[in-house]
């Protein structure tokens, strides 16, 4: 499924991650909620990459404030 060309144009200009799939939004969200990622304590590269992704893409203050 692909969004309307107007919406697609806006998404491509934004920094919002977009996932294209043949399935509907609910099905994809249900599958993604069950994903689990593990990082071993000795995997320094994965820890560093995760830190950078969180720092650059997650508003920690908004999460803390609820």
The mean pLDDT value for 5-15 works out to 87
Both tokens of 10, joined, read 């806006």
Instruction: Assess whether pLDDT exceeds 70 at residue 1.
Output: no
> Does pLDDT of 4 surpass 80?
yes
Q: Is 21 exposed, middle or buried (0-12, 13-18, 19+ CB in 10 A)?
A: exposed
Report pLDDT digits (tens) over 27-63.
988 998 888 889 999 999 999 999 998 888 888 888 8
Q: How many domains does the chain have?
A: 1
Helix ranges, the chain (H): 5-13, 25-33, 44-57, 60-65
Range of the domain at 15: 5-65
Q: The pTM is what?
A: 0.45
Q: Between these two residues, 66 and 49, which has the higher pLDDT value?
A: 49
pLDDT grade for 17, boundaries at 50, 70 and 90: confident
């Amino acid at each position: 499924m692909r969004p309307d060309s107007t919406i697609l144009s806006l998404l491509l200009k934004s920094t919002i991650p977009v996932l294209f799939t043949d399935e509907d939004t609910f099905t994809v969200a249900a599958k993604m909620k069950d994903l689990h990622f593990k990082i071993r304590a000795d995997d320094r590269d994965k820890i560093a990459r995760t830190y950078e992704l969180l720092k650059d893409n997650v508003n920690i203050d908004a999460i803390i404030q609820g």
